[in-house]
Chains A and B, each alone.
Chain A
Amino acid sequence: MRGITKRYPGVVANDAVDFTVESASIHGLLGENGAGKSTLMKVLFGLTAPSAGTVEIAGRPVVVDSARDALDLGIGMVQQHFSLIGDFTVAENLVLGSEPLQRGGLLDLDRAAADIAALSDRYGFRIDPRSRVGDLAVGARQRVEILKALYRGAEVLILDEPTAALAPTEVAELVGLLRRLRAQGRTVVFISHKLSEVIDLCDRVTVLRGGRVEGHREIGPAERDDPERHDALAAELARMMVGHELPDPPERVDGPERGGVPVLRLSAAGDGRRLGPIDLEVQAGEIVGVAGVEGNGQTELVEMVVGVRRCRAGSVHLGGTDVTRWSVRRRLNTGVAHIAEDRHGAAVADGLDLAHNATLGFQGRPPFSRRGLWLSLVQMRRLARGVVNRFGVQAVAVTDPLRSLSGGNQQKLVVGRELSRGPELFVAAQPTRGLDVAAAAFVHSELAALRRRGAGVLLVSLELTEILALADRIVVMSGGRIAGETSPSEVDVTTLGRWMTGGGAVGEPEAAAAGAAGAAT
């Protein structure tokens, strides 16, 4: 790609970007939130037309006007947000748009399924083409997305933050898969904010900053294997991304003595199905980390605390009040804030503007509304502008639709909105999903500040590092129950692993992932 420039009203998302990928390699694309990574790849995949610049494949200039053009040229892309249809099977999803027909024009799903199974076996995807996508775990769904691109004949695969929603075991699996693809001569463009992943996997990286290319870097085996050089390289890349030295990771600051006052208490709570019974307490001034393999009840736990999921057994108390039967709204009004793990599904409406999204949950109270009769657009915009300024969201106008923000900036808006509720209980599910290093550190510091202020935080994360860095207590969920509790100072990874896999053999991520596959959503 040469001289790619993409302008949106008020921003230059890509500014004369030259980007070259060699075949049969894995090329990392790095940059802060809003640096223009997704935009550049959307240009390559024909989803947006560049304002200037050309795309060349094997030295020949090509025109990519649509995703179909891109597919014809052997370029496939997995978007930052999932695009599969949950009610369809894997095979049905894959043939969508290029349905194989039998004689007589009938859809030949059997043949498709056989083709897909063969493809899946060849690269070790471990996907059954007949399973329903909605039943798959996030990691498996991610693999289906990749399989879909391959099924369409992609030689070059663009993966936009494929690991953001994955648990560590699933990441490992994906990494292995991508290496196999490279060995078979396919080319991968890999976008991620997790530097260690990028260093482990990529042959070469390009760093974007503010829409421009900041630099390229080859990554050698030495940097992959020697921990010291690995860290040095990560620091160097981080520096390239932000343009200045990053402050050293500061010391872990523990909260003052905990209040001993419970902000949240679950007593033998369960949903009558996958979750529970659960006993859990979050006290004022502490962060409780919930660890576990995806799909072991964390999602359901959060839903039950927020009130979206009916609690059919036991009770839920917020600050001493029994709220088991309370609606979501009443609970939020008592001082609960919540970052949803599925941002697009549960936290924002991406067709509405920033002002509407920032006001979500505030709409009925002053100064936005007076007695429910009047909604103040001015105040809504003021709130959105406030969130943008205070939490460093990169945005042009608060009347732009939310979808014009980059993925990480959407996340920042959600975090800012929820922090503005001044919560007594903060339920944070994957709060740093899609955030760059600096933004993630900022969110972590905000969580710590909440603790210091005397709020309770329930932190659900797939990343053990995040939990270890923040939590005062760690609980591990497995099979919808709490398998064990520990504290970061005395944490024992082996024990954690055993708890996560439901007491089974230690160190068997495969089994854990398979268990998760059955239980997701």
Chain B
Amino acid sequence: MTDTGNPPGADNVRPATGSEPQPAAESRPAAESHRSMTAELQRTLDSAGSAVARAAATDLAQGVGRAALIFVATVLAALVLAAPLIIAAGSDPITAYGALYDGSLAGQRPFAETLVSMTPLLFGGLAVAIAFHSGLFNIGVEGQLVAGGIAAGVVGIHMSTWAPVHVLLSLLAGAAAGALWALVPAALKAWRGVHEVITTIMMNFVAFSVSQFLVKPGGALEGEIPTGTEPVQSTAELPRIWDPTRLHLGIVVALIVAAACWYFIYRTPGGYRFRLVGANPVAARFNGISSNRVIVEAMLLSGALGGLTGAVEVLGTHRRFLDSFSPGYGFDSIAVALLGALHPVGVAAASFFFGLLRAGSTQLQLEADITRDMITVISGLVVACVAARLLLSRRAARLGRGQGRGAGLEVGTRLGQGD
């Protein structure tokens, strides 16, 4: 045997490793930390030399450039692919996209409406993205936002306190309710291995029914209008910030939360754990990261963001809880997260694009005479383009490495690793 059987060689031994004999009995593991780790770790860190790669502005700029290019290409591809469908629907793409522009960007009111629709989509997109980073597919944002909307509405109606506190408490109530709504799927996933796609969808239906039950005539939250509650108190309203439009403070809150999410995901050990569990849960477990704990934490955080999605809508846009107040923000959030490549900055950009579609859809109907469902088609095409880009790449053609994951999660996970 001439190969791996070589006994250790004195030539090969790094002098550094052997030069500090440690008294064996003294350094036994007993406490929560130990000395030799610090020494050995320091030795490795010192081997790095002085040419340590800084978290350089250049590689940041490179990454941003590439991501922006992909983003724009995806959007354009979806718009081009939608053109034949627009023609089939009896209009022409120039008129249709012109109408979209008029309804979403041309002037103060349309632009404000775009931002109004962007707000819940940004929260929802972040909710989906955070879950994806941990390898979880949260399809339950739609239910979580209903739960969050109800809770925010109830606190907004029934409490009375100083304005900023009232808003804050109402928002927190919404976040808590959303997290609660995600707790069931989280627990089932962590301790029973039930796939979260199934449970989050089921929780959606529960939320829809609860909402109907509460606001129906004679229901606990019945208001003066048929499918809504009473308005929240003015102290609980998210103030309007751009007269005379409907734009409210929610957009600012959303952008702050997006920044916080970025910081959490990429710049804290907690976010590192999330991403590791998403990338390889077994390796995470073998290195002291409890994947069950991360699953629960990520799902709760995602649910809280989902709850906020509903809360800002209720407190900022409608000022009351309405049954089925969401035109499917929770489902669009999935598209937002994917188009945004799960990066909070990308998610913000994607939510702006989808907000633009939403805001422009009315004008699309009026000017181009196509049903506003066309925007659902476009968002579907966006998702298809994202998936196609990832799945058609060579690497993906080699089939997943033996883990029976759904295509959606596969796409999400792959996006998340792109950083």
Contacts and interface: CB of A to CB of B under 8 A. Distances in A.
Interface of A: 47-48, 66-67, 81-87, 96-97, 193-196, 231, 234-235, 238, 247, 249-253, 259, 261, 263, 284-285, 306, 308, 318-321, 327-336, 338, 340, 344-353, 356, 359-365, 367-369, 372-375, 377-379, 381-383, 385-387, 389-390, 397-399, 401, 416, 419-425, 432, 435, 437, 440-442, 444-450, 452-455, 463, 465-466, 468-470
B2 interface: yes
Interface in B165-180: none
Interface string B5-42: 11111111110011011111101111111111111110
Q: How large is the interface on B (under 10, 10 to 19, 20 to 34, 35 or more residues)?
A: 35 or more
Interface string B201-240: 0000000000000000000000000000000000000000
Given A372-B270, A441-B8, A425 B29 contact: yes
29 contacts: A66-B397, A67-B398, A87-B404, A96-B399, A235-B2, A250-B10, A250-B11, A284-B28, A308-B285, A320-B28, A334-B32, A336-B29, A345-B280, A349-B283, A351-B413, A352-B275, A372-B268, A373-B268, A378-B54, A383-B44, A385-B51, A416-B44, A420-B40, A432-B4, A444-B8, A445-B9, A463-B4, A466-B4, A469-B8
A319 B276 contact: no
Contacts of A87: 404
A437 B4 contact: yes
Given A86-B402, A440-B6, A389 B47 contact: yes
Contact of B38 (A196, A249, A387, A422): A422
Given A361-B287, A465-B1, A378 B52 contact: yes
Interface of B: 1-14, 17-18, 20-25, 27-41, 43-49, 51-55, 59, 266-273, 275-276, 279-280, 282-290, 394, 397-399, 401-404, 413-414, 417, 419
B3 A390 contact: no
A449 B273 CA distance: 32
A228 to B, nearest CB: 12
A208 to B, nearest CB: 17
A454 to B, nearest CB: 4
Contacts of B40: 419-422
Contacts of A362: 41
Interface of B is mostly: loop
B7 A249 contact: yes
B135 to A, nearest CB: 11
B203 to A, nearest CB: 27
Given A252-B8, A449-B17, 11 more contacts: A67-B398, A235-B2, A306-B286, A319-B30, A327-B290, A328-B286, A329-B289, A368-B269, A447-B8, A449-B18, A465-B5
B279 A247 contact: no
B276 A446 contact: no
B283 A347 contact: yes
Contact of B53 (A96, A385, A422): A385
B24 A259 contact: yes
A512 B32 CA distance: 42
B36 A422 contact: yes
Given A382-B52, A441-B12, A375 B272 contact: yes
A82 B402 CA distance: 8
B53 A263 contact: no
Contacts of A446: 13-14, 17
Contacts of B20: 453
B2 to A, nearest CB: 4
Given A319-B30, A333-B32, A349-B283, A389 B5 contact: no
A426 to B, nearest CB: 11
A347 B25 contact: no
Closest 9 CB pairs of A and B: A422-B40, A465-B5, A329-B288, A334-B29, A351-B417, A422-B36, A349-B279, A454-B24, A319-B28
Contact of A234 (B2, B14, B286): B2
Given A196-B2, A444-B7, A465-B5, A330 B32 contact: yes
Given A234-B3, A441-B12, A470-B7, A424 B36 contact: yes
Contacts of A401: 417
Contacts of A263: 28-29
A448 B44 contact: no
Nearest to B287: A361
